Amino acid sequence: MLFGKKKRRIQRILVVEDEPLVAFDAEHLLADSGFEIVATTDLVSEGLAAVNSDAPIDLVLVDVSLSDGSGIDVARAARQRGIPVMFVTGACPEGARELAVGCLAKPYPQRDLLAAIEALETLLDGKAPRKLPSSFSLFAKLA
């Protein structure tokens, strides 16, 4: 199709967030924008189970402070499986650059979440993103 929508590289997203309103808003925004939500959880244990399952995941959005531990553990497991991670948190953790492709600072406008994902897709396409949302730090670089 000549003028069709470009195929997304990031389609299936795992949301690991313990603030119910933030999780709900992210899940609905992403679903309404055409993304598939693999799962939404507020627990490290369930995030690890999803990452270690056979379910295809293109991106993990993970908060650092979760009710049963640290989202860093989920990020580390995703990284080991080759799944890109974006921290979505109030304060980006020490060593985030080694585990994640970027960090979106909370609170953020919803458009910043979509713009951050678009920046990651642009990078995966081998191009430099034109403009990043002010609440987003991109760690990944062009190869």
CA distance 35 to 30: 5
Contacts of 53 (CB under 8 A, 6+ apart): none
pLDDT tens readout for residues 50-74: 999 999 999 999 999 998 999 999 9
Taking Cα atoms as reference points, which of 123, 117, 119, 72 lies closest to residue 99? 72
Does 107 sit behind a cis peptide bond, omega within 30 degrees of 0 on the bond before it?
yes
Q: What is the pLDDT of residue 1?
A: 44
Q: What is the pTM assigned to this prediction?
A: 0.91
CA distance 64 to 127: 29
Q: What is the mean pLDDT of residues 44-48?
A: 97
pLDDT tens readout for residues 81-120: 999 999 999 988 888 889 999 999 999 999 999 999 999 9
pLDDT tens readout for residues 123-141: 888 888 988 999 999 987 6
